[in-house]
Amino acid sequence: MAQNYHEDVEQYDEQKAFDAHVERNRWHFLTRLEADTLLVATKRERLIPDSEWEQSMRSLVGNEAMSNSMNGAARLIAEIEQRFRDGTYPINRCPSCNRIVRTPQARQCFWCGHEWRTPSMESGHQ
């Protein structure tokens, strides 16, 4: 069995790695409108009910619009997750151990320590 590259981390869990990857990287795949909708809904979830900000937003856009933005954000998050699952949005995996790596640009595996480079990257190092 391959030794974990980082001894102090928990064991690899595909579902946790997938969820973390989606959470970290979904913003890169959103349109401006989708990002704004999700941002407002995310802020809304963290608010204390009946806070001054929430009351201001409700007075500006109305109760129905606030509820619709929350429902729309939940649908958007589910849709984004599905896009990752069906391969529409790529998931960067280590070519050695096939585990999900931290970012779409990562070229080193946090789990097994494997590093990979494209020929153009290698030619830039001396």
Sequence ranges of the domains in the chain: 12-91, 92-126
Q: What whole-number percentage of the chain has pLDDT above 90?
A: 13
For the residues 24-39, what does the mean pLDDT come to? 80
For residue 12, give the nearest of 98, 117, 83 by alpha carbon: 98
> pTM to 2 decimals?
0.59
Return the higher-pLDDT residue of 93 and 46: 93
Q: How many angstroms separate the CA atoms of 61 and 54, rounded? A: 10
Mean pLDDT, the chain, rounded, equals: 75
pLDDT single digits (tens) 68-102: 656 667 777 888 888 888 988 888 999 999 999 98
Q: Are 89 and 80 in contact (CB under 8 A)?
A: yes
Integer Rg of the chain from CA: 20
Residues 6+ apart with CB under 8 A from 45: 70
